[in-house]
């Protein structure tokens, strides 16, 4: 879900893709990009701040002073991924919106670099509580970004009152992550479309109406 | 999904829980149990055949000769987990069957030892192709075990002709794994029940009818 337009390595090389904010922002962009590359190539266990500084063309001291630990750097990678992620769709149709969401997740999880990056973060989160927290924040932000698609469908009368928007958004992504991480079944665009259709059908039937305690 | 009745450590200590087949089977059971403990405690990266032999009270040579590598041993752990897993439900009602499946997955993923074991295997599979293959076989077997619940519902006329049973079973587990591995949202029995209800609603609406190419 990272902005693929910013994949040129050295930010200075292509002014069109430089994130706004001057040198500090350019250093952050270069370091985060280098951290993503290292995560995708070797995983979390072999991350090293010195190696990332070298890849980014940035002084080691800068990296150690700004991020301090590998865990803090990965948390910043996740915050940046959330910031750079695509905005939600707004087509006026719940099914079309959720299909756009499912296709975005499916493209992300089948892009070799992005899939490796997500797998590395998810693997790290299974054994590192701070990485898990940062990853959960990433997913909360993505769920919040897409929830208005469901809220609008409720307002339009497409879905029952009391439907939990977050639960519908989770239902779109879940089958894709299950295939990526557990069952290993193919993960094509047809699977994405089916995930969107199933979420809409279940939501229409009231399966995601909030449970009042 | 491991048979919790066999958690006494040394198989000899409790004849009622010994797996059938004599000494070879007892050695396998003790080594697999020790490998599960080591996986749950320290993860895949720190598995060591010598340490596992010591935990199991079995000679190192036996373990090296029989399994050879950590990857082969983990593949055998997964094969054993599939063998020992609970059989499918057969209540005569699709919703009740799928709720039993969802509750079984939910109990497994919230049991501390089992959750740690599954997370360790899933994390290892993100970077080890042979572990990924063994894990995919585990999920294929679990999906096949529960698919007849859906087949019978189609025969009873509860679901449209052409519904893909495996896809319905995947839909039950997917929201639970998504919460465990990605979003970090709570994973209570209510989530399991909702996963079963959503899968039934989507299946009734035809969302899992096989796509004919």
Domain chopping of chain A, boundaries: 22-70, 85-204
Per-residue pLDDT at A105: 98
pLDDT at B2 exceeding the cut of 70: no
Q: CB distance A207–B185 less than 8 Å?
A: no
Please name the residue that has the structure tokens 């797996």: B19
Please tell us whether the domain made up of A85-204 is placed in CATH 2.30.110.10: no
CB contact under 8 A, B184 and A120: no
Contact of A120 with chain B, judged by CB distance below 8 Å, is answered with: yes
The DSSP secondary-structure symbol of B183 reads: I
B117 close to B40: Cβ distance less than 8 angstroms: yes
Compute CA distances B118 → A43, A57, B31, B39, B81, whole Å: 19, 39, 18, 9, 11
Position A11 pLDDT exceeds 50: no
For the stretch B93-135, pLDDT in tens is 999 999 999 999 999 999 999 999 999 999 999 999 999 999 9
Q: Are A105 and A173 in contact (CB under 8 A)?
A: yes
Closest CA to B125 of A182, A83, A118: A182
Residue A64 C-alpha from the chain's centroid: 25
Flag if A197 and B197 touch (Cβ within 8 Å).
no
Share of chain B above pLDDT 70, in %: 90
Q: What percentage of residues in chain B have a pLDDT greater than 90?
A: 87
A130 touches chain B (CB under 8 A): no
- Backbone phi, then psi, for A187, in 5-degree steps? -130, 65
Q: How far B140 CA sits from the closest chain A CA (Å)?
A: 7
Cross-chain Cβ contact A197/B202 below 8 Å? yes
Structure confidence at residue B20 (pLDDT): 62
B94 chain-A contacts, CB cut-off 8 A: none
A192 to chain B nearest CA, in Å? Answer: 12
Q: B120 at the A interface (CB within 8 A)?
A: yes
Count how many Cα atoms sit within 13 Å of the Cα of residue A207 in the half-sphere of its side chain. Answer: 31
Residue in this structure with the two tokens 């992620």, named with its chain if needed: A85
Does the beta carbon of A209 lie under 8 angstroms from any beta carbon of chain B? no
> CB contact, 8 Å: A25 with chain B?
no
The predicted complex's ipTM stands at 0.89
Pairs of residues, one from chain A and one from chain B, whose beta carbons lie less than 8 Å apart: 131
Answer whether B207 sits within 8 Å of A190, measured CB to CB: no
Do the beta carbons of residue A210 and residue A162 sit within 8 Å?
yes
Point out which residues pair with A209 in neighbouring strands: A163
Q: How distant is the Cα of B182 from the closest Cα of chain A, in angstroms? A: 7
Strands (DSSP E) contained in B45-189 are none
Cβ burial of B212 (10 Å; 0-12, 13-18, 19+) is: exposed
Residue A171 touches chain B, beta carbons under 8 Å: yes
* SS3 state at B80: helix
Is the model's pLDDT at B45 over the cut of 80?
A: yes
User: For residues B163 and A11, which has the higher predicted lDDT (pLDDT)?
Assistant: B163
Partner-chain residue, chosen from A119, A177, A194, that has the shortest CB–CB distance to B207: A194
Radius of gyration in angstroms for the set of CA atoms belonging to chain B, rounded to a whole number:
19
Architecture, CATH, for domain A22-70: Orthogonal Bundle (1.10)
pLDDT > 70: what percent of chain A? 90
Contact at CB, A122 and B197, closer than 8 angstroms: no
Distances (CA, A) of A117 to A33, A154, B28: 11, 35, 36
Question: CB A183 to CB B211 under 8 A?
Answer: no
């Amino acid at each position: 879900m990272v902005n693929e337009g910013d994949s040129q390595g050295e930010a200075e090389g292509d002014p069109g893709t430089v994130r706004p904010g001057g040198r500090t922002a350019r250093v952050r962009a270069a370091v985060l990009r280098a951290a993503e590359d290292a995560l995708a190539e070797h995983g979390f266990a072999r991350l090293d701040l010195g190696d990332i500084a070298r890849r980014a063309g940035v002084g080691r001291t800068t990296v150690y002073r700004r991020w301090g630990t590998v865990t803090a750097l990965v948390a910043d990678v996740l915050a940046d991924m959330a910031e750079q992620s695509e905005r939600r769709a707004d087509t006026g149709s719940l099914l079309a919106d959720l299909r756009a969401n499912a296709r975005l997740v499916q493209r992300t999880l089948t892009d070799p670099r992005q899939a490796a990056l997500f797998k590395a973060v998810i693997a790290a989160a299974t054994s590192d509580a701070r990485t898990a927290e940062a990853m959960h924040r990433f997913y909360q932000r993505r769920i919040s970004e897409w929830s208005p698609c469901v809220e609008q469908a409720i307002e339009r009368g497409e879905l029952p009152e009391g439907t939990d928007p977050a639960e519908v958004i989770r239902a779109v992504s879940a089958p894709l992550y299950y295939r990526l991480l557990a069952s290993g079944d193919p993960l094509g665009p047809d699977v994405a479309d089916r995930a969107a259709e199933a979420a809409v059908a279940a939501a229409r039937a009231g399966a995601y109406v909030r449970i009042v305690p």
